[in-house]
Amino acid sequence: MTLPLPLPLQLPPQLPLLSLLIFAPLGGALALWLLPARAARHLVALTLLITLAISSAVLFNFDPAGARFQLIERLPWIASLNVHYLVAVDGLSVLFLPATALLFLGSLVASWNLVHDAPRLHYSLLLTLQSATLGIFCALDTVLFFFFWELTLVPLYFLLGRWGATRDSPLAAARYLLIMLAGGIPLLIAFIVLASSQPTIPPTLSFDLIALLAAPLPRSTQTLVFLLCLLGFALKVPLVPLHTWLPQFSLAAPGSLTALIVGLKLGVFGLIRFAIPLAPAAAQDMHWLLAGLGTVTLLYGAVGILGQTNLRIALAYASICHVGLAVLGLASFSAQGAQGAVALLLSFTVATGGAFLLLEFLRQRTGSTDINGLGGAAKTMPLLASGVLICGLAGVGMPGTSSFPGEFPLILAALQSHTGAGMAALFGLSIAAGGFLALYRKAFFGPVTRPEVAQAEDLRPRERVVLIALIIMIVGIGLYPAPWFDIIRPAAEAWAAGLSR
Amino acid sequence: MGGLSEILWQEQSSLPLLIWLQLIPLIGAAVVFAFKERSTAVIAGKVFALAELLLGIIVTSRINPTLPALQMAERFDLIAYHVAVDGLSLIFILLTALLTFLMTLYGMSRGMISPGRLFAVLLVAEAGLVGMLMTVNLVWFCVFSALELWAVFHLLRRWASSRAEIQALARFIQYQAFGWALFAGGCVVLGWAYADAHAGYWSFDLFELVGAVPAGKFQTAAFYLLFYGLAVRTPLFPLHGWLPNMAQHGLIAVAPALMVGVKVGIYGMVRFVLPLTPAAVEYWQPYVVGFAMAGIFFTAALAFQQTNLRRLLAFAVVSHTSLLVIGVFSLHESGIQGAILLAANFGLAATGMWFIVGFVFRRTGTTELHELSGLFERIPFLAIAFLSFGLAIVGMPGTPGFDAAHLVLEAAIDRFGALPTVAAALGNVAAAGFLLWAFQRAFLSPSQEGRELDVDRTLPMEYLVCGIALAAMLAIGVFTEPWLRLTETASQAIALRFIR
């Protein structure tokens, strides 16, 4: 225990914390249908708070200095295929659980007064999405992981298609679903190849990540598995050239939903958890591919910001830019790179997710997030403008914000392993920062020209809570990152040691 | 070539249960028919359908799925009556019973003419299906098949939903009679070969034929006759021409569900074609698989062209049937097991979708996609159920389709390599594409100005029918283990003939 806090309550050791965490939102989703529709959002808020509490309990019960995987729960699920219900957390994943819970809470607060039609359906889909997302972070059985991975698509499809922000939303929803279903195929095939190429006698299927990590595969199989996994995860990340769904998605979705999709970087997590450790030799052979994709993605995202007039699309490009950096750092295959990548992803959840939530507040007031429809917004909405600035600065990696402690080791790792790409990354990041500030200036400063902007009121108390929480987290983590790094570091070192075997 | 083994019913239960499984629907049909159009007829129909389902569950609990033998066997040599079941046939029998029960629930809703007669014909069709699924004698298989086809023919003639039914009916008879004749021809070839080898003693019993498969050209001929006979039934591209017409003009839901909900064609291939013509199967395997691959994409492309929801579903059925054939003809135990489970999953999911289309038709009087819009607002439960069934067809995790498709893909990787497997899986995504597209147009698109459809809310009976189907599907999807255990040994026994 590195956090010098007394445990608020002593939990019995056999309590299946992770299962409780995964199934609490589902339970809430079912409970929604027992109560009248007007009580729905309060019940959802309660469920999300419970989820947050359980995820904090998981964090307190996690011992960073202990074994790699903790709080393991293993139950046979499909015994004849050797598939288990196997969940556990390690230092790389444990922080994502409270981050997910927080982001969903923020998303609920941001859309508090917006869901009028069929609220119970809307909220039960949202809670199902949360269950699936938490499951992705906890699952250590590849089939179970794939189950949760695909399970996220159904609620997303409905949330976007039915409650979308534009007329094109159903189309964007279908496109997203189809692209992600197609992306699932290489993943599934990779997992099947992995499972059936275990060198055991007699040959048995194995989907257990812990066992798979212990048994290295032949080189040719590794190459196949790595390429298939990379294809599947790169779609979700998204890496250029597979990113085309993201700008469309971020425009068609309500901000609270975009915050969830962009804020939770499931694709990079998949690379860290599955693609690279399962095929370490192939991944290291193809470091150029990973680093190249990362660099191209970073530069593409940075340049993409420059051409935008819509803040939400610009933010989507900024996030593309930063996952590029994370992937480039991962290509160093060092503990430093993994640690930086995880820290950056966590910071994303707060900074990018928060920025999308704030832009959603802006859209609700002015009907637009296009800079042509704004101008001078800082005059009437100073709090909102400063919130966007802080989140945006965190998004471009300003020292003192939560992104910096992640970005710094990433750049160091990249400069050591791929010097040229690292230089290009620095260059790209400064373009991104410049592009963001230029957009910000056009949107928030200058004379007020439009009546919607002139009449808009600043953040209301409910929204201020979101803003204050965001600032505390961004600045707090930025100034004092040590406790979080202490949780990530041992796992990142174990991760890197596993690769260099 | 190893023979087959069986366990007689006396060793496993105190009653010959299989004969009762066949008799209950027949007795039920007679009783319902005797009641004519009284309301008791409707109740009796439901009771018999439920009784059949319960008996099917009892039989499933009595057999031992870890033995490769066919079980609960009953013989009566005088009329060559010989039935037996294993895990594979039980999956289909349970599915038949469940679907028939759901159809009796579906059929009692308003607007159905003479429900008493309908239930009687339905039970006859069920008797035919159950008979086909448990007999191991080829002649009996042909007889039951004729019985079921007669029942469906009757349904189409009396309860068709549009004026163009004559064309649909003619197509149906042409194709099915031709397919039936092909299959019967195949049986004759096999019987003849047996008679040649056994001094003029004819037999059509699977247990005896399997020890004396014809050689050379005769085996090829038998394979082609049996395979194409079943392919018409299944229906397999390019022999699917009867289904879209029937789906569009025939009695909604019930008729198509009877013909394609229970994939007797796939069952027949696994039970009869693979053991009886093993050399021909191995020789023609690449061609069959190639055709099936082409079929997945060709019919998916056709499905994208459809403007009618019912025709679209028909093409969806043809497209996914090709995937089943790939599984069966991988000649790999996982492939066969996956194909059987996938067939059951498709049957349940497709029938669920037919039901919903039927409910929509009752409200709107049309299934033309461009006339449907904004249904989600009025019937959200049915809309979500429709999409869930669609996702089950695509093999979404959490539905039975996932584990089954997983097994088929595993076998395909093992036998055909990664590239054909990816192609087959992409076909599945194409299916997702057109089902989603249809869903979006019918359910999610905003209501057109001035054309708002006056749509009733979901009725309790509709909640019940879709709820049962949905619950069964999700339950099987999450707890797949018992079903895998039920089919594992039986699939191994069949794949053992093709160990290379």
Q: Which amino acid is at B178?
A: F
Which sign, positive or negative, has the C-alpha torsion A416, A418, A422, A423? positive
Which sign, positive or negative, has the C-alpha torsion A222, A225, A231, A233? negative
Give the gap in angstroms from C-alpha B262 to the nearest C-alpha of chain A: 25
Tell me which residue of A1, A3, A4, A54 sits closest to A24, measured CA to CA.
A54
What pLDDT shows up at residue A280? 87
Three-state SS sequence of A116-149: CCCHHHHHHHHHHHHHHHHHHHHECEHHHHHHHH
Which one of B334, B378, B406 would you mutate to disrupt binding with A, by most A Cβ within 10 Å of its Cβ? Answer: B406
- Minimum-distance CB partner of A81 among B394, B436, B484: B484
Task: Average the pLDDT over A21-49 and give the result.
Answer: 89
Which residues of B touch chain A, with CB atoms under 8 Å apart? 376, 380, 384, 387, 391, 394, 396-398, 402-403, 406, 409-410, 413-414, 418, 421-422, 425-426, 428-429, 432-433, 436-437, 440, 444-446, 480-481, 484-485, 488
User: What residues form DSSP beta bridges with A76?
Assistant: A84
A147 and B394 within 8 Å at the Cβ level: the answer is no
B484 and A78 within 8 Å at the Cβ level: the answer is yes
Cα B489 from chain centre:
21
Q: B-chain residues within 8 Å CB-CB of A143?
A: 397, 406
CA angle B378, B381, B387 (to 5 degrees): 110
> What integer best gives the mean pLDDT of chain A?
85
Strands of the B81-85 sheet, one edge to the other: B6-8, B70-76, B81-85
What pLDDT shows up at residue A133? 93
Tens-place pLDDT, residues A423-470: 998 888 888 888 888 888 888 887 887 777 777 778 888 888 888 888
User: CB-based contact (8 Å) between A161 and chain B?
Assistant: yes
The Cβ-side half-sphere exposure at A6, using a 13 Å CA radius, reads: 2
A185 and B426 within 8 Å at the Cβ level: the answer is yes
For B133, the token pair is: 């699924």
User: How many helical (H) and strand (E) elements, i.e. helices and strands, does chain A have?
Assistant: 24, 2
Q: Residue A169: inside a domain, yes or no?
A: no
User: CB-based contact (8 Å) between A59 and chain B?
Assistant: no
What pLDDT shows up at residue A200? 62
User: CB-based contact (8 Å) between A181 and chain B?
Assistant: yes
DSSP of B436-458: HHHHIIIIISPPPTT-----PPP
**Mean pLDDT highest for which of A206-215, A217-226, A287-296, B405-414?**
A287-296
State which residues form the domain around A471: 286-501
Under 8 Å CB pairs connecting chains A and B tally to 81
Q: A-chain residues within 8 Å CB-CB of B413?
A: 189, 192-193, 196
Q: A-chain residues within 8 Å CB-CB of B341?
A: none
A150 and B397 within 8 Å at the Cβ level: the answer is yes
Give the gap in angstroms from C-alpha A86 to the nearest C-alpha of chain B: 15
Q: Residue A471: inside a domain, yes or no?
A: yes
Which one of B334, B384, B436 would you mutate to disrupt binding with A, by most A Cβ within 10 Å of its Cβ? Answer: B436
Q: Which amino acid is at B328?
A: V
Q: Residue A175: inside a domain, yes or no?
A: no
Q: B-chain residues within 8 Å CB-CB of A146?
A: 397
CB within 8 Å of B463: residues ≥ 6 apart? B381
Give the gap in angstroms from C-alpha B73 to the nearest C-alpha of chain A: 27
Q: How far apart are CA A342 and CA A268, in angstroms?
A: 9
In 3-state terms, what secondary structure has residue B25? helix
B440 and A161 within 8 Å at the Cβ level: the answer is yes
Restricting to A residues 131-150, those with a Cβ less than 8 Å away from any Cβ of B are: 143, 146-147, 149-150
Q: Is the pLDDT of residue A3 over 60?
A: no
In 3-state terms, what secondary structure has residue B11? helix
Q: Is the pLDDT of residue A48 over 90?
A: yes
- Minimum-distance CB partner of B396 among A150, A158, A167: A150
What pLDDT shows up at residue A4? 45
For B83, the token pair is: 């039935």
Residue B337 near residue B491 (C-beta atoms within 8 A): yes
B429 and A178 within 8 Å at the Cβ level: the answer is yes
Q: How far apart are CA A77 and CA B433, in angstroms?
A: 30
CB within 8 Å of B92: residues ≥ 6 apart? B133, B262, B263, B264, B267, B340, B343, B344
B440 and A79 within 8 Å at the Cβ level: the answer is no
Complex-level ipTM? 0.76
Q: Is the pLDDT of residue A130 over 90?
A: yes
Task: Average the pLDDT over A5-30 and give the result.
Answer: 76
DSSP state letter for A460: -
| Positions of chain B with pLDDT lower than 70, given as ranges | 1-3, 108-112, 160-165, 252-253, 447-454, 499-500
B380 and A181 within 8 Å at the Cβ level: the answer is no
A192 and B422 within 8 Å at the Cβ level: the answer is no
SS3 content of chain A, % helix, strand, coil (to 5): 70, 5, 25
CA closest to B438 among chain A residues? A174
Which one of A176, A192, A221 would you mutate to disrupt binding with B, by most B Cβ within 10 Å of its Cβ? Answer: A192
Q: B-chain residues within 8 Å CB-CB of A170?
A: 440, 444-445
Q: Residue A48: inside a domain, yes or no?
A: no
CA closest to B410 among chain A residues? A192
Q: B-chain residues within 8 Å CB-CB of A189?
A: 409, 413, 418, 421-422, 425
A170 and B433 within 8 Å at the Cβ level: the answer is no
What pLDDT shows up at residue A2? 45
Q: Residue A275: inside a domain, yes or no?
A: no
Residue A137 near residue A84 (C-beta atoms within 8 A): no
Q: A-chain residues within 8 Å CB-CB of B422?
A: 185-186, 189
Q: A-chain residues within 8 Å CB-CB of B338?
A: none
Q: Which residue has the tokens 């069709």?
A: B125
Q: How far apart are CA A489 and CA B334, in angstroms?
A: 43
- Minimum-distance CB partner of A177 among B413, B436, B485: B436
Q: How far apart are CA A442 and CA A440, in angstroms?
A: 5
Task: Average the pLDDT over A375-383 and give the result.
Answer: 81
Helix (H) or strand (E) holding B84: strand B81-85
In 3-state terms, what secondary structure has residue A70? strand
User: CB-based contact (8 Å) between A227 and chain B?
Assistant: no
Q: Residue A115: inside a domain, yes or no?
A: no
What pLDDT shows up at residue B447? 67
Q: B-chain residues within 8 Å CB-CB of A178?
A: 429, 432-433, 436
Tens-place pLDDT, residues B85-103: 888 888 899 999 998 888 8
Tens-place pLDDT, residues B344-395: 888 888 888 888 888 888 877 777 877 777 777 778 888 888 888 888 888 8
For B38, the token pair is: 């009284």
How many domains does chain A divide into? 1
- Minimum-distance CB partner of A181 among B394, B402, B445: B394
